[in-house]
Structure 1
Amino acid sequence: MSEKLEQLLWRIADTLRGKMDADDFRDYILGFIFYKYLSERMHAYADEVLEPDGITYLDIDEDNKQDKLILEHVREEAIDALGYFLKPSELFGALASRTNAEGKAHFILADLSRILTNIEQSTMGTASEEEFSHLFEDLDLSSSKLGKTENEKNELIVRIMQQLDQVDFDLDNPKNDILGDAYEYLIGKFASGAGKKAGEFYTPQQVSMVLARLVTVGKTKLKNVYDPTCGSGSLLLRVAREVGQKNVGKIYGQESNPTTYNLCRMNMIMHNVHYKKFDIKNEDTLERPAHLDLRFEAIVANPPFSAEWSASPLFMSDDRYAPYGRLAPKSTADFAFVQHMVHQLDDKGTMACVLPHGVLFRGGAEGHIREYLIKEKNCLDAIIGLPSNIFYGTGIPTCIMVMKKKREHSDNVLFIDASQHFEKVKTQNVLRPQDIDKIIDTYKARRAEDKYSYTATLEEIAENDYNLNIPRYVDTFEEEEAVNLKAVAKELKKLDAGMKATDATIEKFCKELGIESPF
């Protein structure tokens, strides 16, 4: 992203800063960015449709009878190709530039609210209805956070739109994804300031990259990819980018938070994922799974760490959990997510999931599930320890579990300790490109390296009672440098002699001053 664009986006953020918290102004700014994106896509597509007629979209007079027929033709084409429709007068730029004779901004709140509603309504009864439904519900134009009076709210929104209207998203350049990158950048920036809530919607890009590269090792195409806790969708998009978006059959995800669910759908659309090529659902994945009849070639996830779930006894008859004979504890749903993903994993697929370190060694039901996954299913392919303080809002150390149903190396499990390979950036630890490359290269080669990685046989893991704590397998002990006792003794004698000389000097001064010596 260019420095100019970054500065502009943060200037817009500063316009709202102080009026609302990070979560709120994230929703407003990203909502406006999305509206601008839809407008520019609509404008560019309409111009393309109208090119044979020698006119542009802005040439159309919406009140002219003949032009209305042309507009209807454009609408039909746009609904099929883009999934939505905007009139020329409803475009972002047209609204942002409205001024009166004195050059002052018109009151646009009512029109803006109507336009956002029209975008959603344009999809009703069409194939894209579900993908666009309620997308703008978090963009509350009546909120008192925008101002006490309607005029104050209007002035603020006009100022934001006019600032954003200066950004050229260069949609004609197929290699450019300025808007999508800006969108992800803002999500990441707001995540870093949103504390514990950040984990609800964002996975740091370097972690996303590790997961994406793990599930695409040796693959140039994927029939599908799935994230059961997809947040803003950045992880799914990273996987698609890894093999090329055109080489992914369909993207699936599920997200329980309605606001984050909206962010995810916006993110998909703004990264040019056609509405027919993604299926994101707003439901609790464990309680009401939406894609249970499907199997996925690639599964990635960053589930909420040690979240609560119902752990209802009814799940003992659920195919996802029944074979294990035990359910994950009500207070820690980590393994419930793992079991769900393993169930949905294709026989030739790979799953990579971020989890807290506790899943590696906690006992009880979790120990039982862990043993079943290794002993009975033999689907655990690798454990990768990540640095602590790598996620926004939590400093706990985490790991990645890599699962495969049909493993090439079925007689061992690879352990990688990447916890000491990072760069500290301000208060956050960050994986550098060379750190990511080292993880992936080690995974591909299943290479054992002193202090870094080890391939443990299934017998070794059984001998450790299926405890997967990484230090049991990767020896990270650093031997302390040998102490030269003779040199230490010599230094002590030298210090002692110096102290005696100092004591004698102090005693001499005391006598000259006629005061009692401390010695």
Structure 2
Amino acid sequence: MALKKSDLYSSLWSSADELRGSMDASQYKDYVLTLLFVKYVSDKAKEDKSSLIYVPDDGSFDYLVSLKGKPDVGEKVNIAVRRLAEENDLLGVINNADFDDPTKLGDAKELQVKVSNLIGIFQDMDFTGSKAEGDDLLGDAYEYLMRHFATQSGKSKGQFYTPAEVSRVMAQLLQIPASTPKSTTVYDPTCGSGSLLIKVADAAPNGLSIYGQENDNATWALARMNMILHGNETHDLRQGNTLADPKFINSGSLQTFDYLVANPPFSVKTWTNGFDSSYGRFDGFGTPPDKNGDYAFLLHMIKSLRPRGKGVVVLPHGVLFRGNSEARIRTELIKRGYIKAIIGLPTNLFYGTGIPACLIVIDKQDAQARTGIFMIDASKGFAKDGPKNRLRPRDMHKIVDAFTGSKEIARYSRMVPISEITDPKNNYNLNIPRYIDSSAPEDIQDLCAHMQGGIPNSDLEALQPYWDAFPSLRSELFAPLRDGYSELKVQTGEIRSIVTGTGEYERFVRDTANTVDQWLTSKRTVLESIVSSTKPADLIHDISEVLLAVFRSRPLIDEYGVYEQVMSYWNQVMHDDVSLIVSEGWSKAAQPRIARAWKDKNNKPKYEDAQIVFGTGAKAQRWVMDLLPPEYVIARYFSAEQSELDRLTEARDASTLKIAEYVEEHAVEGGLLFDAADDEGNLNNAAAKAALKDLKITKGDPDEIVALTKVIALYTAETKAKGSVKDATIALNEIAIKKYKTLTEEEVRNLIIDDKWGATLQQQVNGEVIALGQTLVTRLRVLGTRYEQTLPEFESRIELLSARVTAHLALMGVQR
């Protein structure tokens, strides 16, 4: 059974939790990633006999499985991993975790159970088919773990990972031509775990030749594993300090590369320690300040680029405006034309720091002819993701679109002439707010409107995109009052119903839905044709780019908002679905499967969440439908049975409500059920029966007997209703399970493409339309209430109230 991306991720993270204990994330990642590596290369060697990684029998994952439960499992795992490392020149790379360390894994018995359970979690995974063509499921899982480890590793240890979203943007900013040969080089002098280099290589259809250097030995080892897990076995990553001991040297000079990406450590204060000045990295620029290494890294990178080379570097915002020696270096960079673009990013994107950063695009090709620097202020576009901020798909696409198309967007991007940057008032300062004002327009209060009433036409004209989309709406809501001002013709409470009830609005909603329908229809053949050779990444790029283009020509609606809806659904659901179809085909992927089971760290059984369950406990049948959840099968083929179940469910809920109301009414102090209820006024069926039995024996109050008899009858009716719901649910689930076996491939495709994907995407895009309407309604209500009462009316009201107070005081004999 092929793995869903989300299942793989959650399973791997649960394996990390097996070792959490008191260990720091930076320690336990070594155990988890080592086993992930051994499992992957073992499965790959089974499938591909020509694999570049040789897996000996006593260094394979199958051998690790044979060690489970043995007293010396930790020691034997260490030996096996070392055998695998020796055979592939990976000593010091994959054998850094000590599986026989009682200080981290506990005493002998605890260590035995913990290591055995951890192997067991990976044992249930099959990676032989997990790398669909062009879709690196396992590599993405590795990055998922790296992101979690970086999040939990604390400020000082989270810098080994560049967020995947930033890496993808940087890769696209390089604009690598599709025809670029694999021999083309890409270099990262501070490569961390290597994720940034991998994203760049993935952006080139033929791949690239990867080079990198990393100072920290453990992080260098992570990068080596990362490369192999992503299928880049021929990488060249070296360990050492790039500034003090650059490893890529050619005839006494720095080796140069075609492309470069980097996310160096910010503002290193000790960069001069051991610095080797023999490579002329600062020639013509001057030396960076002793206590800040940002420009030291940047100048190393520029020196490492070929004459036509291109690069993208992450640096703190301070490099754009700091003075003294950094100002002199920045001036020289601008004069030479090396800086092609600057993109300001949101705060708190990166691990290890919350300060804002920027992307600097370096391009040596035709540098002397450069007449401007393209600037983007993307600092406002992000989503919160736990303790960090994250670029959304819409933010990433907007950055790349603006840069590649040199699009000038108000309050977002513009081409800034070199003459403006060199003007004495700016003096080579590149701080983005000097050139782009990204602040939202101020909502100005109109004093004249407050004095005389009316809504300023300038405020209404700011809503012109809405009036363009709904031409008659403004005249339905507003009428001229005097020169420059209008008045609201309706009550503010009526604005929503008028906006959403107009024919133009309804037509806009229909047209938007029709646009989505037409898009789905145009791409239906592509979706129906998903086969084992389909590349999921290419598929989503194709269909999403077409949707983006379609909505660019639509009025009012933000095409990036629509794009975000599609990409969000892709990341949450569709990618899993497509990967399953690619791996297993439509029909097989749609079939129910038995839910996975495993044992937790306390050796207790755990079960995967299932959509349909027959029975309870260990003997229960738990069915999971990864691709085709049962609600879609039921809605299309068993709607009558579902309606009957809904009716029975409503009847059951009504029975429960009757009990609650009856008990609430009579269980109060002095009520007929008060003596039978507990101290909190609750009365269950068993307690009611016991109380009734006692009353009959003691010949108690007849009215209490009647009340208890009534509540017991209500409980009996509820029990019967619950039984009916249970029986109907089982019956519906049984016929649904049987239906899966008879579904044709065409029926499966229709259910997935139309009922699941199509309907969901329609609903999500419609959410964008609803949000637009809500934004307009909210703004009109603000304007309607802001100037509803004029200042003279307030003054008149104050005078009236003051007179009333004076009159009341006079009646009380109090003089003001």
* Distance change >3 Å, CA 384–CA 485, structure 1 → 2: same
1:434 and 2:394 correspond: yes
1:366 correspondence with 2:326: yes
Shift of 1:161: 0.6
Q: How far off its partner does 1:497 sit?
A: 5.4
Aligned equivalents of 1:179, 1:272: Cα separation in 2 = 10
Alpha-carbon distance in structure 1 between the residues aligned to 2:427 and 2:803: 66
Match of 1:188 in 2: 147
- Give the alignment's Cα RMSD to 1 decimal: 2.7
Consecutive unaligned residues of structure 1, counting only runs of 5 or more, are 49-77, 124-128
Distance in 1, matches of 2:153 and 2:41, equals 27
- Of 179-188 and 234-243, deviating more is 179-188
SS at match of 2:348: coil
1:311–1:328: 8 Å Cα contact kept in structure 2? no
Distance 2:77 2:273 in 1: 46
Q: Which of 384, 393, 408 is equivalent to 1:424?
A: 384
Residues 360 and 468 of structure 1 are in contact (CA less than 8 Å); yes or no, is this contact kept in structure 2?
yes
> After alignment, is 2-11 or 378-387 more displaced?
2-11
Larger radius of gyration: 2
Which residue identity does 1:20 align to in structure 2?
A: M
Per-residue CA deviations over 1:47-70 (Å, capped at 9, x if unaligned) read: x4xxxxxxxxxxxxxxxxxxxxxx
- Separation in 2, partners of 1:25, 1:241: 29
Contact 2:150–2:159 (Cα < 8 Å) also in 1: no
| Mapped contact 2:264–2:315 kept (Cα < 8 A) | yes
Per the alignment, residue 111 of structure 2 pairs with 153
Q: Corresponding residue for 1:40?
A: 43
1:314 deviation in Å?
A: 7.0
Matched, 1:95 2:64: yes
Cα gap change, 1:178/1:332 in structure 2, threshold over 3 Å: closer, same or farther? same
2: distance between equivalents of 1:211 and 1:272? Answer: 21
Q: Alpha carbons of 1:415 and 1:502: their partners in 2 closer, same or farther (altered >3 Å)?
A: same
The within-5 A match list for 1:393-432 is 393-407=352-366, 410-432=370-392
Say which SS state the counterpart of residue 147 (structure 2) adopts.
Answer: helix
Q: Structure 2 unaligned runs (5+)? A: 452-788
In the TM superposition, residue 8 of structure 1 has moved relative to its aligned partner by 1.5
Q: CA deviation at 1:508?
A: 8.1
Deviation larger for 89-98 or 364-373: 89-98
Cα distance between partner residues in 1 of 2:357 and 2:261 = 15
Shift of 1:83: 4.3
Task: Name the counterpart of 1:23.
Answer: 26
| Alignment CA distance shift 1:478-1:108 (3 Å) | closer
Q: Which amino acid aligns with 2:45?
A: M
**Residue in 2 that maps onto 1:51:** none
> For residue 235 of structure 2, what is the amino acid of its counterpart?
F
Moved more, 203-212 or 186-195: 186-195
Q: Hey, what's the Cα distance between the residues in 1 that align with 2:382 and 2:74?
A: 47
The amino acid of 1:44's aligned partner reads: E
Aligned equivalents of 2:307 and 2:392: distance in 1? 32
Q: Kindly tell me: are residues 352 and 267 of structure 1, through their superposed partners in 2, closer, same or farther at Cα, counting changes over 3 Å?
A: same
SS at match of 2:18: helix
Counterpart of 2:56 (choices 86, 101, 117) is 86
> Does structure 2 conserve the Cα–Cα contact (< 8 Å) formed by 1:170 and 1:178?
no
Matches within 5 A, 1:93-492: 93-98=62-67, 105=70, 107-123=72-88, 129=89, 132-171=90-129, 174-175=132-133, 176-197=135-156, 199-221=158-180, 223-244=184-205, 246-248=206-208, 250-274=209-233, 277-293=234-250, 294-311=255-272, 317-324=278-285, 326-375=286-335, 377-407=336-366, 410-463=370-423, 464-489=426-451, 491-492=790-791
Q: Which amino acid aligns with 1:85?
A: V
SS at match of 2:215: coil
CA contact (8 A) 1:311 1:327 kept: no
Q: What secondary structure does 1:247 align onto? A: coil
| Residue 499 of structure 1: how far off its partner (Å) | 5.7
Deviation at 1:189, TM superposition (A): 1.6
- Find the aligned partners of 2:813 and 2:63 in 1 and give their Cα distance: 91
Once the two structures are TM-superposed, the CA of residue 430 in structure 1 deviates from its matched residue by: 2.2
CA-to-aligned-CA distance 1:464-502 (integer Å, 9 cap, x gap): 211001122223354423322134345455555556666
The verdict on how the C-alpha distance between 1:400 and 1:500 changes in structure 2, with shifts beyond 3 A counting, is same
Q: Which amino acid aligns with 2:244?
A: E
Q: TM-score, structure 1 length as denominator?
A: 0.82
2:492 is aligned to none
TM-aligned CA deviation for residue 154 of structure 1 = 1.8
CA 1:432–1:147: 2 relative to 1, 3 Å: closer
Q: Deviations over 1:333-386 (max 9, x none)?
A: 1111110000010122211001110000000111111111111x2211111111
Query: What is the SS of the residue equivalent to 1:323?
Result: coil
Q: Which is further off, 408-417 or 491-500?
A: 491-500
**Identity score, percent:** 35
The amino acid of 2:73's aligned partner reads: I
Conserved 8 A contact 2:186-2:210: yes
Change in 2 beyond 3 A, CA 1:150/1:506 = farther
Call closer, same or farther: CA 1:355–1:491 in 2, change over 3 Å: same
Number of equivalences: 466
Tell me if the contact between 1:192 and 1:198 (Cα under 8 Å) persists in the aligned partners.
no
Deviations 1:29-63 (A, max 9, x none): 11211121222233334xx4xxxxxxxxxxxxxxx
SS of 2:42 mapped into structure 1: helix
**TM-superposed deviation, 1:516:** 8.5
* Cα distance between partner residues in 2 of 1:207 and 1:314: 29
Of residues 35-44 and 284-293 in structure 1, the stretch that sits farther from structure 2 once superposed is 35-44
What residue in structure 1 maps to residue 587 of structure 2?
Answer: none
Distance 1:392 1:496, change over 3 A: farther
More helix as a share of residues: 2
Cα shift at 1:237: 0.5
Distance 1:310 1:486, change over 3 A: closer
Equivalent pair of 2:171/2:199 in contact (CA under 8 Å): yes
Residues 356 and 516 of structure 1: is their aligned pair in 2 closer, same or farther, counting only changes over 3 Å? farther
What is the CA–CA distance in structure 2 between the aligned matches of 1:515 and 1:191, rounded to whole Å?
Answer: 75
Contact between 1:252 and 1:278, CA under 8 Å: does it hold in 2? yes
CA gap of 1:341–1:501, structure 2 versus 1, over 3 A, is same
Structure 1 distance, partners of 2:302, 2:45, is 41
